[in-house]
A and B are shown apart, each in its own frame.
Chain A
C-alpha cells in the first residue's frame, strides 16, 4: 500500500529517504551493465503487477509481488522497486516524491529480507522450496504492512487506529500473495529455471 504525500512527519520522510539511498547504492553496486535490462524487466513487472486485480470475495485486490522481486533479485530489488514506485508517482501520482523513500523502504526492505531468509529453503527442490516460496510472498506483504503501520505510528499516536486498519487490510493480501508467489515460483522452476539462478549464487 502506498502512503500518500503530506501524511508523514518530516523525520519519518527523511529516515525513509536515507535508508533508500543506502539500499539503492548497495543494489546498484551489484548490478553490472549486462544485468540492467533484466532488472528493468522485473521493475516493469512490479509496476504492471499492481494493475492485475485478483478477486477475493466481493473485492478485487491488486498483486504486490515484492516477495517475488526479492526472491529473483536480492539487493538489486531496491533500485528496481524505487524505479517502479517513481514511475507510478510520475504516471499515476500514486505515492509521491517526498514519500518515495518511505514507500521504497516498506516495499524493498521485506523483499531483501525474504531473499536472505528463504534462500536456504528454496535451494531444496520439492516441498521445502514450495513452502519457502509461499512463505516468501506471505512474509514480504506482512512485513510491508508492519512497516507502513510503523511509519504511520512514528509520525504520531493519532494514526494508531489507521495503522491497525491498514495492517488488518493486509491480511487477505498476504495469503493471496503467498499463493501467487508459490505458483509463479513453481512455473518458473519448470519453464525457465535459469531465471531463479540468483537463489543458488
Chain B
C-alpha cells in the first residue's frame, strides 16, 4: 500500500470522498464504509491510534447527535419530558455519522500516510499551481518551527508565574505571545529566503525523487475505479432504498 504511487492514492481518495459525500442512501454509505475499512486494513495502521483519532474528530458529529434527532420533524420514537426524538432524525444523523467516518478513514488510510513533502511534489506533478505547492511545503516546514517556538514562549511565561484566567491581562499576554511568535518567524522567513537566494533559488524546487507509475498502481487504480462504479450504481439504481 505505501509503495503505491502517491498520485494514484490522491486521485482514488478524492474520487471516493466525493462519491460518499454525495451519496444519500444507507446501502451506498455502508458499502463505502466497508471499502474504507479495506483501505485501512491494507494500510496496516495501528488500529488503536486510528480509533482514538476518530473519536476526537467526531466532536462535531456528537454535537449533531445532541440536536438533530430532537429537532428533525417526523414520527416520535422516544420522549423525555419536553424532549422528543424522531425516527427520521435518528436515521438522518446516523447517515451523516457513517458518511463522515467513511470519508475520514479513507483520508487517513490513503492520503495521511503519504509524507507531506512527497504529497507536495505529487500535487505539483498533478498540475496544481506551483506557487500553491510551494506554499504548502513552506507552511509545513514552518509548522514545527512555530510549534517549538510556541512551547518555548509558553514555558517562559510559566516560569514567570503566568496563570491563565478570564481577564484582560490574560488576553493581552496571549496576544503578545501570538504577536511575538509572528515577529520571530517573520525574521526567520526573511533569513531563510535570503539563504535560498544565495544558493541560486529562482522559483523551483528540484527533487531527487521521481514518480514511477508501475503495474501495481494501474491495478490499484483499476480496482478502485471498479469499486467506485459499484458504489455509483448502488446509489443511482436504488434511490428508493434507505
User: Which residues of A line the B interface, CB within 8 A?
Assistant: 1-8, 10, 13, 24, 28, 31, 33-34, 36-45, 47-49, 51-52, 54-57, 63, 65, 79-80, 82-84, 86-87, 89-94, 96-98, 158-162, 165, 176, 179-184, 187-188, 191-192, 195
Contacts and interface: CB of A to CB of B under 8 A. Distances in A.
A5 B168 CA distance: 36
Interface residues of B, number: 79
B175 interface: yes
Closest 9 CB pairs of A and B: A6-B99, A183-B175, A40-B138, A6-B100, A187-B179, A44-B142, A37-B189, A5-B103, A98-B21
B178 A93 contact: no
Contacts of B146: 44-45, 47-48
Contacts of A92: 53, 56-57
27 contacts: A4-B60, A6-B21, A7-B100, A8-B21, A28-B131, A33-B134, A36-B131, A36-B135, A38-B186, A40-B141, A45-B146, A47-B139, A83-B135, A87-B143, A90-B112, A90-B116, A93-B57, A96-B100, A96-B107, A162-B64, A176-B171, A180-B175, A182-B175, A183-B171, A184-B176, A188-B179, A195-B182
Contacts of A31: 131, 135
B174 interface: yes
B185 A83 contact: no
B192 interface: yes
Interface stretch (B1-9, B11-19, B207-215): B11-19
B185 A45 contact: yes
Nearest to B61: A4
Contacts of A8: 21
B174 A13 contact: no
Given A47-B146, A159-B68, A161-B71, 6 more contacts: A37-B190, A38-B189, A41-B185, A44-B143, A47-B143, A52-B177
Given A3-B60, A6-B96, A41-B142, A97 B14 contact: yes
Contacts of A38: 186, 189-190
A40 B139 contact: yes
B140 interface: yes
A10 to B, nearest CB: 4
Nearest to A190: B179
A57 B182 contact: no
B179 A96 contact: no
Contacts of A80: 135, 139
Nearest to B19: A98
A87 B103 contact: no
Given A55-B164, A91-B112, A10 B182 contact: no
Contacts of A158: 68, 71-73, 89, 92
A48 B143 contact: yes
